[in-house]
Copies of this chain bind each other. A is one copy, B any other.
Amino acid sequence: MGQRRLNVGLIGAGRIGKLHAEHLCRRIPRARLVAIADANAEAAQDCAERLGISRTEEDYHAILADAGIEAVVICAPTDLHATMIEETAAAGKHIFCEKPIARTLREIDQALEAVEHAGVKLQIGFNRRFDADFSRVRRAIVAGEIGQPHLLHIISRDPGPPPIEYIRSSGGMFLDMTIHDFDMARFLIGDEVEEVYASGAVKVDFAIGEAGDIDTAVVMLKFANGVLATIDNSRRAVYGYDQRVEAFGSGGAIAVSNNYPNSATISDAVCVRRDLPFKFFMDRYTESFLMEMAAFINAVLDDTEPMVSGVDGRAAVLLAAAAQRSHEENRPVLLREFDTE
């Protein structure tokens, strides 16, 4: 047991917080989850008890104040992310924070500055980078298996829209949902986007439109290296969680398909069929949530760069803002338009 373990505190015992807590306790031997904070004391206690964690806090500042805690995992509501990052950085602790960092570039820049100043590590929760399929695509591109990449397509459709109250406070589909795809595009191509053209529509539910949002979109990205990418989003794919990418280049193409609960194919008098893909993001992305957290723990203990940086977190929010503007003004929007704002 000579192995050194990282003492971790968790802020926010909601759905995703509980998942991270379980991984930290049971699946990541190098981590030791020592405290869980949630303004809802009961939520923190339930989670802690289930995992045999003895300490819970209503006020997360107690975690920040604990010198024995080396890293903090932030799963609180988005509104609090930036402030918590700043405070955690000031406390000299490493940070894993769920996406998005914040909804405005100003808040993000302030948070990243605090991280920079404190010299702590920050990893943003773009878990999909750690998925076996998508990381295989990245490896193929890096290894030159498809030559120079020319084109990229991302299909990203949810099984169903979130509640309309959630939509209202989500910051819009580009910031709430497409943000994963913006990060995926940057991750896979390994370069920066220069221009965005986005077309959105209300196709799934009129109530979403009345709430001022869209539920269907196609976004086109132009990368600095000339790659053209598209993102296809829908809030409702009736057949399940539809998450695929295809990259095409001078030497070939790579595509990944959806993930299914089984591989069975049934042929009967009507058709040849298989069961639907996973419907729930936690079933589809289970492994990637584990992998991202293990990678964070490793990055801290081994003093390496986190695989998803604060810069990555900022870039995805910027792309969401550009897509929103493009959609509203129906014109290609250059990212550098935001430089002087």
Contact = CB atoms under 8 A, between A and B. Distances in A.
Interface of A: 1, 26-27, 29, 49-50, 132-133, 136-137, 140, 145-148, 150-151, 153, 157, 197, 199, 201, 203-204, 216-218, 220, 222, 226, 228, 230, 232, 234, 236-240, 242, 248, 250-259, 261-277, 330-332
B230 A252 contact: no
Given A26-B26, A133-B262, A201-B226, A272 B276 contact: yes
A243 to B, nearest CB: 11
A176 B199 CA distance: 27
Contacts of A137: 264
Among A133, A140, A250, A271, max chain B CB count under 10 A is at A271
A288 to B, nearest CB: 12
A136 B148 CA distance: 32
A253 B239 contact: yes
Given A266-B140, A266-B146, A266-B252, A201 B228 contact: yes
A67 B171 CA distance: 59
Given A254-B265, A262-B133, A332-B331, A218 B230 contact: yes
Contact of A151 (B150, B234, B253, B255): B234
A15 to B, nearest CB: 18
A150 B256 CA distance: 22
Nearest to A219: B220
Given A242-B253, A254-B266, 11 more contacts: A133-B262, A150-B201, A150-B203, A151-B218, A197-B220, A218-B228, A238-B269, A256-B262, A258-B263, A267-B277, A271-B273
A216 B249 CA distance: 10
Contact of A136 (B268, B275, B330): B275
B226 A132 contact: no
A248 to B, nearest CB: 7
Contact of A218 (B157, B220, B261, B276): B220
Number of identical protomers: 4
A230 B226 CA distance: 18
A140 B275 CA distance: 11
11 contacts: A145-B266, A146-B266, A148-B203, A157-B248, A216-B228, A240-B267, A242-B267, A252-B266, A254-B266, A254-B267, A259-B263
Contacts of A268: 145-146, 238-239, 251-252
Given A201-B150, A218-B220, A230-B230, A264 B255 contact: yes
Contacts of A145: 266, 268
Given A234-B151, A277-B272, A264 B226 contact: no
Contacts of A253: 237, 239, 242, 266-267
Contacts of A259: 263
A1 B49 contact: yes
B238 A220 contact: no
Nearest to A229: B218
A199 B194 CA distance: 13
A267 B230 CA distance: 20
